[in-house]
Chains A and B, each alone.
Chain A
Amino acid sequence: MKEEDRPEEKNPMEDFLRMDRIPHIWCPGCGIGTVVTSFADALRKSDLNLDKVAVVSGIGCSGRVAGYVKFDSFHSTHGRAIPFATGLKLANPDLKVIVFSGDGDIVGIGGNHFIHAARRNMDILVICVNNFNYAMTGGQVAATTPLTANLSTAPYGNFEYPFSLPYLADACGASYVARWTALHLRRVTHSIQEALQKRGFSFIEVITPCVTLYARRNRLGDGLNLLKYYYENAEIQHGADTRTLGISFQGRLIVGKFVDREKPTFLDCMNDHLSKALGDKYVKYGVKL
């Protein structure tokens, strides 16, 4: 077949990515890209109007996601993706707002916003790519770094207790909580699909190798090895008690869907409560009449 006779090939990601911004900046072997692929796949399988999808990121490697996805997308400041998303969602409740960012961004500098958005059951989905370190700045210790792991600001190994993110999200009242590794592609996609259907605060943690910094510094092999290692060390325990989900250095990873509950969102609560308190005088907000 002559070249001009071939049907035009379309990149399957074209509807979801800003192709004029590709290639991306992520290192070979990094898992962020696969999470983005799962995200696009989940959106493709959903019946959402993509014009109503908005993605907000903070700062860091995962914070770059907002710059690559072809939706209304916002690259905010370090740690502030969640309050930005809160303002966006409340201003325009028709939007499906997804925060896509890293562990340092979401539970380090942005930890306060994370717990409060979960507490309010703000109707947003937070996808947190956890690579156990601050990668964009060169591999520093994070709030998620397992004990003893070596990083540039923990040069003799980390001695601080890390957060267990699903436990934190659950304790703060999130409606949906799941954890996977970046190699659980279909599982991640499925969780994002579920969470996109959910109303309320949804949280998905995806464990990802940071090949250039965390893996190299701790002599954990290349990205593919570590990706495989995480996958093989993962044990699926849906509904596991979130108190049992702590992560030790190169230890067992419990993954799965841990929380899936129905509860009214911030706006539901606001409208229900104020309607009861004020009666007909209350002007309902963000409700399709």
Chain B
Amino acid sequence: MKADPKGVLTGAHYLDGDFAIAEGALAAGCRFFAGYPITPSTETAERFAERIPFVGGVFIQMEDEIASITALIGASWGGKKPMTVTSGPGFSLMMENIGLAAMMEAPIVIANVQRGGPSTGLPTLTGQGDMMQVRWGSHGDYKIIALSPDSPQECFDLTIQAFNLAEMYRVPAFIMTDECVGHMHEKVVIPPADQIEIVERKWYEGPKDKYLPYKPDKDLVPFMVKAGDGYRFHTTGLTHDERGYPVINAECQDWCVRHINDKITKNAAKIIKFEEDQTDNAEVVVVSYGITSRVAVKAVQQARKAGIKIGTLRLITVWPFPEKRIKELSKKIKAFVIPELNYGQMALEVERASAGQAPAIRVSHMGGWVHDPEDIFKAIKEAAK
């Protein structure tokens, strides 16, 4: 279906990434936002609070991030497409109920405008230290979807995507951006509403007494209903059967946990998006995402000038990780170079996927600023040897 024009601010704008996320959410049909102020993500909440009165919906500033994320799950079951935005410390507080959303299979969207961590770290400066936390942060085994925009335009585009994916797969979906992209002002083109593709969750329409909130459909995603429509359904954070009733034994645990993982794993090929350039004859492939991919451009140009056969792979979907493609590439190249604003997180995934075929050379920057392209270039030269 097409976007509701009420939320779409069609035109060319000069926006920062944080604002673009808010506009993406409104365009995607988000009408419920619960959040708690935290640098450098607050502008998204501010923009939503300013805009929503004219669109029709709710903005609520909750008492903390725990409340914010939990309110999202309630709102999701209330039939809304909900969103929150946060950064490091707030993201950590959300972890428990990200697990609840995964377990209840409630579509919600969370943007993390990353800053330097751990702990309070660098509140006003950039980082990419939460890339593993987004995947593994809540306890137990579950899967999520995470996207990483590299520009304000992509903040807008991928926020819409995140809503579509959350709805399609009944899963928490994340926008993993960072302070740099969040505070970077660039041109953002918002298309007319009828050019914005919107996906809604699969609403169940069968007989009321036959509804099973966790019965997987062909694509493994169960149908959803909303509270108040007479289905009298139950849902819980406990291990549950298709009815949503708690069943405390190993058999049900096996079914339940496999289901929430399989739903993403078996649809991964449909979910994963990346951008690849000149990898055909490459000896070295730079794998990057978010702001780091833009810094890497300079180093790649330098490498090409120096005659190094170099390709790039920019992750748009960071989770699920495009392990198949990395594996294929690993058989043909000398090495991967992975610049990240952390000690080396997605590099672990590259290493895992390449399974010893090609080394994963880290260019680690602990955050606070972006890489000096020279450092990436040096690593490329080393890798090409």
Which residues of B are interface residues toward A (Cβ below 8 A)? 32, 34, 53-58, 60, 62-64, 66-68, 70-80, 82, 96-97, 100, 226-238, 245-246
Contact = CB atoms under 8 A, between A and B. Distances in A.
B79 A72 contact: no
Contact of A91 (B75, B235, B245): B75
B34 A87 contact: yes
A3 interface: no
Given A72-B232, A77-B96, A89-B78, 20 more contacts: A51-B232, A54-B227, A71-B232, A72-B233, A73-B234, A74-B74, A75-B236, A75-B237, A77-B70, A83-B63, A87-B32, A87-B34, A88-B74, A88-B77, A91-B80, A92-B78, A92-B228, A113-B63, A266-B60, A278-B54
Chain A CB count within 10 A is highest, among B57, B66, B82, B226, for B66
Interface string A83-118: 111111111101100000000000000001101100
Given A67-B236, A278-B53, A91 B63 contact: no
Interface stretch (A193-201, A226-234, A241-249, A279-287): A279-287
B118 to A, nearest CB: 24
Contacts of A270: 58
18 contacts: A21-B245, A51-B229, A67-B236, A67-B245, A75-B238, A76-B73, A80-B66, A83-B63, A83-B68, A88-B75, A90-B71, A91-B78, A92-B78, A95-B78, A113-B66, A116-B62, A281-B54, A286-B58
Contacts of B96: 77
Interface string A250-283: 0000000000000000100010001000100111
Contacts of A82: 67
The range of chain A's interface size is 35 or more
B149 to A, nearest CB: 26
B71 A283 contact: no
A104 B235 CA distance: 22
Given A66-B236, A91-B79, A285 B73 contact: no
Contacts of B67: 80, 82-83, 86, 112-113, 116
Contact of A86 (B56, B64, B74, B232): B74
A282 to B, nearest CB: 5
Interface in A33-80: 51-52, 54, 56, 66-67, 70-77, 80
Nearest to B58: A90
B234 A85 contact: no
Nearest to A72: B227
A77 B75 contact: no
A108 to B, nearest CB: 14
A286 B62 CA distance: 19
Contacts of A73: 232-235
B228 A94 contact: yes
Contacts of A74: 74, 77, 234-236
B42 to A, nearest CB: 19
A119 to B, nearest CB: 9
Contact of B54 (A75, A83, A283): A283
Given A66-B234, A89-B78, A95-B78, A84 B63 contact: no
A18 interface: yes
A285 B97 CA distance: 27
A80 B97 contact: yes
Nearest to A273: B53
A137 B231 CA distance: 32
B227 A88 contact: yes
B227 A95 contact: yes
B62 A72 contact: no
Contacts of A20: 245
Nearest to A88: B74
A56 B71 CA distance: 12
Chain A CB count within 10 A is highest, among B71, B72, B230, for B71
Contacts of A115: 63
A116 B67 CA distance: 10
A202 B100 CA distance: 26
A86 B234 contact: no
Contacts of B62: 83, 86, 116
A72 B60 CA distance: 23
A20 B232 CA distance: 13
A80 B70 contact: yes
B100 to A, nearest CB: 5
Contacts of A284: 56
B226 A92 contact: yes
Nearest to B80: A91
B75 to A, nearest CB: 4
A282 B53 contact: yes
Chain A CB count within 10 A is highest, among B32, B70, B80, for B70
A86 B228 contact: no
A52 B245 contact: no
B232 to A, nearest CB: 5
Given A88-B75, A116-B62, A283 B234 contact: no
Interface string A16-39: 001011000000000000000000
B74 A83 contact: yes
B53 A283 contact: yes
A66 B55 CA distance: 34
A88 B34 CA distance: 12
Contacts of A278: 53-54
A85 B80 CA distance: 14
B63 to A, nearest CB: 4
Contacts of A285: 56-58
Nearest to A59: B237
B97 A77 contact: yes
A89 B32 CA distance: 11
B100 A76 contact: yes
A112 B62 CA distance: 10
B228 A95 contact: yes
B227 A75 contact: no
